[in-house]
Chains A and B, each alone.
Chain A
Amino acid sequence: MLRRAFSVSLMLLYFSFILAPIFLMLIGSFGEKWFGTLLPTGFTLEWYAQLFRKAMYVRAMVMSLWIAALTVLINGAISILTVYAVHVLESRRIRAAFDFCLLLPIAIPPVVMGLGMIQAYNWKGFSLVGTWQLLLGAHIAYTLPFMMRPLMANIEMIRWSALEEMCVSLGASLWTTIRRVLIPNLLPGVVSGALMTFAMSLGEFQLAVMVTGSRSQTFPVVLYQAFYVSTGFACAATTLLILTSLLSLVGLVLVGRSFSGEIVGG
């Protein structure tokens, strides 16, 4: 009983620590004034109206969604092929190298990666720094392990080698094998990888603030600037980001389920 009470209160503490600031943001986004009081005073939708009137914020949100979506798509394609190749080769050395590569982006702080990218892709007369393509590349490199991991676990769980041999012995071409057997059976892994990488890309700040320019700013970058405008405005922008993130993830889950329900469900 005591143990139960302890673990429940610990969980409540954890949730309130994480959720309370977010909840305050939500309240603050509807408040007229928030200065020197615990809670904001008054009620207004003005901050949201301003958010949608300012082209910079709208463009940044579109840019964020665009980059997150492309990150997921490209990550998915790269990961399926890589994981398939690493699994089929059955080489212990290649597997070790693969595992090491997956650790790299986690071991290297994004701020180091961002500085490196500025150095590496900034030449006289031709610079990638400031373009959304460079940020896309950075996000792909940064989030790739989080797509690879679930896929690797997935392909091992379905014991792909045996399935592939089965396809071959039944006379199926490589293309048929990949399209009709590999991809459908990897969908659960793709969905969980997509959830991870989409959320990471959408909220990523460090790389974005270093690599992007005025025309390629993502939402977290402009959100940071919003705090210099006014508290209520910043709260509205934050709430919008959280809402977008949640809706996208729910959407991803639903899309994934409709494709892979046959495998995961039941």
Chain B
Amino acid sequence: MNDVKSAKNDSKNGVELVGVGKMYGNVHAVRDVSLAVKEGEFLSVVGPSGCGKTTMLRMISGFVAPDSGDVRIGGASMKGVPPRKRRVGIVFQNYALFPNMTVYENVAFGMKAQKWPEDRIKDKAAALLEMVGMEDRAGAYPRHLSGGQQQRIALARALAIEPRVLLLDEPLSALDAKVRNTLRFEIKRIQRNSGITTVYVTHDQEEALSISDRVALMRGGALEQLGVPAELYASPASEFAADFIGVNNIMRGVYQGDGRFVWNGRTLFVETKRDPGPAAMMVRPERFAPAEAGPVLNEPNINILEGRVVGKVFLGPLTRVAFSVDGATLLMDLLSAAGEPLSAGDPLRARFAAADAHLL
């Protein structure tokens, strides 16, 4: 991954949105979004349904014209360029394979339409089918393939025309969990090997975090936050981001300055550079740990909360414990372990480091 990326590190942008907006009636589907996807980059766009992510994708492919702003591919404005001429590869959630054509014919369709020479089409189609692991099903019809296999073919078909950008619109949403996980990393591998600029739309934040170079979070048609996955997870820019990406404990209180945050009459320590005032503190469940018995004494870098266990959920490797502190319910993730099981009603002391709290 590094060699492909470093070779293109400072190169131009693959796709660029410059202040694009789109209204449907009185509703802003997309409002003033500016965003640059570097060449060879894998960018995911996440957000709840109706956040404008699909509209954004359709503006790149050209099926929706922005009311304002500009879409650029490879540095060139796409104003007035029809979708047919954009050389954009698309993969849909429902595969949209041509039912009347075999796997091979599906993959070859774009190349034939663009009048490539016959032997080049053959070689390219064979190479693509091998890449997606479907070389032995070249003569099969889509209806004989599983959902995962159909999506592999759809991917090969999109890549066949050597597009400048690959757009994937919820490509894994129709598949079952196991296939989804395998295919997710295969998409990533194929993208990495071909070095194609990719925009991946999904509502599944976990999927986005696990395969993207960067993630764009959208809300109500606007860009909420853009960053590498770890950054989005560790320092969400808003309560919405904190809530949408992963699970979060949100504690509302007042920041008094000097690293002190008052929540329900308790003083908690936090590392932040913000100004005093009302604020929300966020702590990821896995940042909590059970603390030894002892006095509640918050030092400048460790916070301890005393409460009672309300319930727990076994998640496999993790066990999620809900505990209540002064009437507020917080979540703590612990590595599942045999012995010493916590049960509802037990007293619990939970600690977290000041560095693990994030203040908004």
Proximity bits, B38-61, A CB within 8 Å = 1, else 0: 000000000000000000000001
- Nearest residue (CB) in A for B110 is A170
Q: Which A150-189 residues have C-beta < 8 A from chain B?
A: 158-159, 162-163, 165-173, 176, 180-181, 184-185
Q: Is there an interface contact between A171 and B98, defined as CB atoms closer than 8 Å?
A: no
B152 CB, min distance to chain A CBs, angstroms: 16
Is B96 close to A, CB under 8 A?
yes
B360 CB, min distance to chain A CBs, angstroms: 40
Q: Is there an interface contact between A166 and B141, defined as CB atoms closer than 8 Å?
A: no
Is B269 close to A, CB under 8 A?
no
Q: Is there an interface contact between A165 and B161, defined as CB atoms closer than 8 Å?
A: no
Proximity bits, B126-167, A CB within 8 Å = 1, else 0: 000000000000000101100000000000011011000000
Is A90 close to B, CB under 8 A?
no
Q: Is there an interface contact between A166 and B161, defined as CB atoms closer than 8 Å?
A: no
Q: Is there an interface contact between B96 and A159, defined as CB atoms closer than 8 Å?
A: yes
Proximity bits, B91-103, A CB within 8 Å = 1, else 0: 0101010111000
Residues of the A chain whose Cβ atoms lie less than 8 Å from the Cβ of B92: 162, 166
Q: List 7 A-B residue pairs with CB atoms under 8 Å apart, sorted by A's residue number.
A: A163-B98, A166-B96, A170-B113, A170-B157, A172-B109, A185-B100, A266-B141
Instruction: Give the one of A162, A165, A168, A171 with max B CB within 10 A.
Output: A171
Number of interface residues of A (CB under 8 A): 21
Is B84 close to A, CB under 8 A?
yes
Is A263 close to B, CB under 8 A?
yes
Q: Is there an interface contact between B99 and A169, defined as CB atoms closer than 8 Å?
A: no
Per the bound structure, the CA–CA distance linking A165 and B113 in Å amounts to 14
Indicate which residue in B84, B88, B98 contacts A181 across the interface (CB closer than 8 Å). Answer: B98
Per the bound structure, the CA–CA distance linking A22 and B86 in Å amounts to 63
Residues of the B chain whose Cβ atoms lie less than 8 Å from the Cβ of A262: 100, 141
Number of interface residues of B (CB under 8 A): 28
Q: Is there an interface contact between A172 and B99, defined as CB atoms closer than 8 Å?
A: no
Per the bound structure, the CA–CA distance linking A170 and B90 in Å amounts to 8
Indicate which residue in A162, A171, A266 contacts B144 across the interface (CB closer than 8 Å). Answer: A266
Is B19 close to A, CB under 8 A?
no
Q: Which A214-258 residues have C-beta < 8 A from chain B?
A: none
Indicate which residue in A165, A181, A263 contacts B63 across the interface (CB closer than 8 Å). Answer: A165
Indicate which residue in B61, B94, B98 contacts A169 across the interface (CB closer than 8 Å). Answer: B61
Q: Is there an interface contact between A162 and B94, defined as CB atoms closer than 8 Å?
A: yes
Per the bound structure, the CA–CA distance linking A217 and B61 in Å amounts to 57
- Nearest residue (CB) in B for A183 is B100
Is B114 close to A, CB under 8 A?
yes
Given contacts A162-B96, A181-B100, A184-B100, whether A169 and B113 have CB atoms under 8 Å apart is no
Residues of the A chain whose Cβ atoms lie less than 8 Å from the Cβ of B63: 165, 168
Q: Is there an interface contact between A169 and B100, defined as CB atoms closer than 8 Å?
A: no
Instruction: Give the one of A159, A163, A170, A176 with max B CB within 10 A.
Output: A170
Indicate which residue in B86, B99, B141 contacts A185 across the interface (CB closer than 8 Å). Answer: B99
Residues of the A chain whose Cβ atoms lie less than 8 Å from the Cβ of B85: 171
B10 CB, min distance to chain A CBs, angstroms: 30
Given contacts A165-B90, A263-B100, whether A172 and B110 have CB atoms under 8 Å apart is yes
Instruction: Give the one of B83, B87, B94, B98 with max A CB within 10 A.
Output: B98
Q: Is there an interface contact between B90 and A169, defined as CB atoms closer than 8 Å?
A: yes
Q: Is there an interface contact between B94 and A159, defined as CB atoms closer than 8 Å?
A: yes
Per the bound structure, the CA–CA distance linking A18 and B278 in Å amounts to 84
Residues of the B chain whose Cβ atoms lie less than 8 Å from the Cβ of A169: 61, 83-84, 86, 88-90, 158
B108 CB, min distance to chain A CBs, angstroms: 10
Proximity bits, A173-217, B CB within 8 Å = 1, else 0: 100100011001100000000000000000000000000000000
Per the bound structure, the CA–CA distance linking A245 and B167 in Å amounts to 52
A107 CB, min distance to chain B CBs, angstroms: 35
A170 CB, min distance to chain B CBs, angstroms: 3
B291 CB, min distance to chain A CBs, angstroms: 55
Residues of the A chain whose Cβ atoms lie less than 8 Å from the Cβ of B98: 163, 166, 181, 185
Q: Is there an interface contact between A168 and B84, defined as CB atoms closer than 8 Å?
A: yes
* 3 interchain residue pairs of minimum CB distance: A170-B110, A172-B113, A184-B100
Q: Is there an interface contact between A266 and B143, defined as CB atoms closer than 8 Å?
A: yes
Instruction: Give the one of A169, A172, A173, A263 with max B CB within 10 A.
Output: A169
A154 CB, min distance to chain B CBs, angstroms: 11
- Nearest residue (CB) in B for A177 is B113
Given contacts A163-B96, A166-B92, A168-B84, whether A173 and B141 have CB atoms under 8 Å apart is no
Per the bound structure, the CA–CA distance linking A241 and B86 in Å amounts to 57
Given contacts A159-B94, A170-B157, A266-B144, whether A176 and B113 have CB atoms under 8 Å apart is yes
Per the bound structure, the CA–CA distance linking A105 and B86 in Å amounts to 45
Instruction: Give the one of B61, B90, B158 with max A CB within 10 A.
Output: B90
Instruction: Give the one of B88, B94, B96 with max A CB within 10 A.
Output: B96
A91 CB, min distance to chain B CBs, angstroms: 14
A88 CB, min distance to chain B CBs, angstroms: 12
A143 CB, min distance to chain B CBs, angstroms: 26
Instruction: Give the one of A162, A165, A168 with max B CB within 10 A.
Output: A168
Residues of the A chain whose Cβ atoms lie less than 8 Å from the Cβ of B143: 266
Given contacts A165-B63, A185-B99, A262-B141, whether A170 and B161 have CB atoms under 8 Å apart is yes
